[in-house]
Chain A
Amino acid sequence: MTRATQWLYGWLMLLPAAALLALFTHYPATATLWHSFLSTPRGSRPGVWVGLDNYQQLIDDPIFWQALANNLWYALGTIPLSIALALLMAAWVNGSVPGRGLLRLAYFTPTVLPMIAVANIWLFFYTPEYGLVEKVLSAFGASTHNWLGSKSTALGCLMVVAVWKEAGFFMIFYLAALQSISPHLAEAAAIEGASRWHFFRRVTFPLLMPTTLFVLVNAVINAFRLVDHVVVMTRGGPDNATSLLLYYIYEIGFRFWDSAYAAALTMVLLAILGLAALAQFWFVERKVHYQ
């Protein structure tokens, strides 16, 4: 094949995918930036250049700051916990616990369910007086509490749902990694007299580092990408206590139809995702893997 035909084949085969990517990823990302400097078009009046006004509005908007803070707390509350649980689950089902297959199934099943279904089920759990959480707590003599209706507990309730749904997903990556670790390492360490905990901390955990990084990046993305449960369970309430960034964008964009302000908000979200990408590259550069 001549060089020219190589080029032609390469480009032609890439064309359909590239066109769709350009139309639904690169164009909208660029257009978001552009539109964040314009005002929202109203009726037949197109948007006009307003410079940084939308960003000024963002800085002055307490709800934005709350959504951002909520999202950071949400990330902080769900990511380490679900990763730790995932590792624990993987270690357990990789070992010789009785009923291993069934356990693996139990841990993994929430992953296959749609977040919206999961949210519906948990919504029922949290229902005041009637829900299971209430029933169990009242059996222990606790007074009733509106879990999703009070500002202090609503975000925590959403975090529980997210951890329940995601830990099993991360577990399988750890499981795959654990199964690829040679048993000779453990034998050698045992001959050297290393304790179980020491072996985990000094050998297993470092070997799992690439997996941890992969899972971490995914967890960060999911913490900012998935707001289905917010829509179903709280609609951002009470009093914006559970509004996450993407949910707030959805509200501004499709409840108040303020597309210019939504564009500025989306830029913040894109910046956060971009930072996550940079962090990943930085870690990979520093060779967090041992192969």
Chain B
Amino acid sequence: MTHVYAARGGARVVETAGAWTLGLLWLLPLAYAFWTAFHPTEFSTRFVLTAPLTLDNFAKAWAAAPFARYFVNTVLLVTMVLGAQLVLVTLAAYAFARFAFPGRGILFALVLVQLMVMPDVLIVENYRTMTLLGLKDTILAIGLPYMASAFGIFLLRQTFKGVPRELDEAARVEGCGPLAVLWKVYVPLARPVYLAYALVSVSYHWNNFLWPLIITNSVESRPLTVGLQVFSATDQGIDWSIITAATLLTTAPLLIAFLLFQRQFVQSFMRAGIR
């Protein structure tokens, strides 16, 4: 893309240098983490090109904590949350976008409250509720507060409102009921928005930490983030190479998915942000 105000000559050199300095600064922590994880401990802060590569740190980390179980828990959590969100959010957004019923405005305002008052800050009361419900220390308890997502309802309502009424009416003439119209007309047309929402949701819940830390207490329910923290905090004797390997291990699926589907990720985050 050439632009009349694109930098030229000296300005361009300065700009390139600036952009890359910042880029390297941004890459440095990750590069360092990779170096440490893939080299023996004695090379963790000695940067010599002849340092031998090893996967030992990963093997040791994997053996030292039940990461396999944590992986299963996180995958279960993320799938469960996303599945429930897609159903709940779709129905609610459809109701707000296409049905006239008393209290719609107030109810929508009440939904939007969650954009500011997120479950993340209501930890004390939600802990009490989970205790009352007998759900403490379960994967369901981690996901439950996030399943009705105001953000998702808002996003899909906007999308559904943009669907031409004619398509809706045509389907009804064909004899479709409201739910069939939703399934055959609205959902297919909103597919890119669903993809965007799914990516944002999965990365949010893969990475979520404080609430799972509070509500879980056992290997059976802990997600990766909490497992990683328990692992790196309990054994002070463990060396950094292993902790760094564990850190990379727990983020690997997300990081690999991101590198493979970079464009979709960036576009999804963009789409999700533009209201």
Contacts and interface: CB of A to CB of B under 8 A. Distances in A.
Interface of A: 1, 3, 6-7, 9-11, 13-14, 16-21, 23-29, 31-32, 35, 85, 88-89, 92-99, 102-118, 120-122, 124-125, 127, 130-132, 135, 164, 168-169, 172-173, 175-176, 183, 186-187, 189-190, 196, 199-200, 214, 221, 224-228, 231-232, 246, 249-250, 253-254, 259, 262-263, 266, 269-270, 273-274, 276-277
B183 interface: no
Given A31-B128, A118-B29, A132-B32, 7 more contacts: A10-B101, A14-B91, A106-B26, A120-B243, A121-B29, A226-B120, A231-B209
Contact of A17 (B126, B153, B274): B153
Nearest to B117: A29
Contacts of B33: 121, 124
A197 B269 CA distance: 29
Interface string B87-124: 11101101110011110100100110111111111111
A173 B274 contact: yes
Contact of B228 (A106, A117, A125): A117
Nearest to A183: B3
Contacts of A106: 23-24, 26-27
Given A120-B232, A132-B32, A114 B207 contact: yes
Interface string B232-265: 1100000010011001101100110011001001
Contact of B258 (A9, A35, A109, A120): A109
B36 interface: yes
A263 B124 contact: yes
B55 interface: no
A14 B95 contact: yes
Nearest to B149: A17
Contacts of B213: 231
Interface string B157-170: 00000000000000
B125 A35 contact: yes
Contacts of A28: 122, 125-126, 129
Interface string B26-54: 11011011001000000001000000000
Contacts of A246: 120-121, 210
A288 to B, nearest CB: 13
Contact of A112 (B16, B122, B254): B254
Nearest to B90: A13
B64 interface: no
Give the secondary structure class of A's interface. helix
A262 B270 contact: no
A214 B115 CA distance: 13
B128 A259 contact: yes
Contact of B123 (A3, A11, A187, A250): A250
Nearest to A31: B125
B270 A172 contact: yes
Nearest to A218: B273
What band does the interface of chain B fall in when counting residues whose beta carbon is under 8 Å from A? 35 or more
B18 A92 contact: yes
A98 B16 contact: yes
Contacts of B3: 95-96, 183, 186
A186 B116 CA distance: 37
B150 interface: yes
B198 to A, nearest CB: 14
Contacts of A176: 270, 273-274
A164 B22 CA distance: 10
Contact of A21 (B20, B102, B148, B203): B148
B269 A114 contact: no
A27 to B, nearest CB: 7
Contacts of A270: 117, 121
B225 A276 contact: no
28 contacts: A3-B100, A7-B99, A13-B94, A14-B107, A16-B148, A17-B88, A24-B126, A24-B144, A27-B129, A29-B125, A89-B19, A92-B18, A95-B7, A99-B20, A106-B24, A110-B29, A116-B225, A120-B232, A121-B247, A124-B32, A130-B240, A196-B7, A214-B275, A231-B229, A249-B124, A254-B214, A259-B128, A273-B116
Interface in B55-112: 87-89, 91-92, 94-96, 99-102, 104, 107, 110-111
A93 B23 CA distance: 11
A167 to B, nearest CB: 8
B123 A17 contact: no
B233 to A, nearest CB: 8
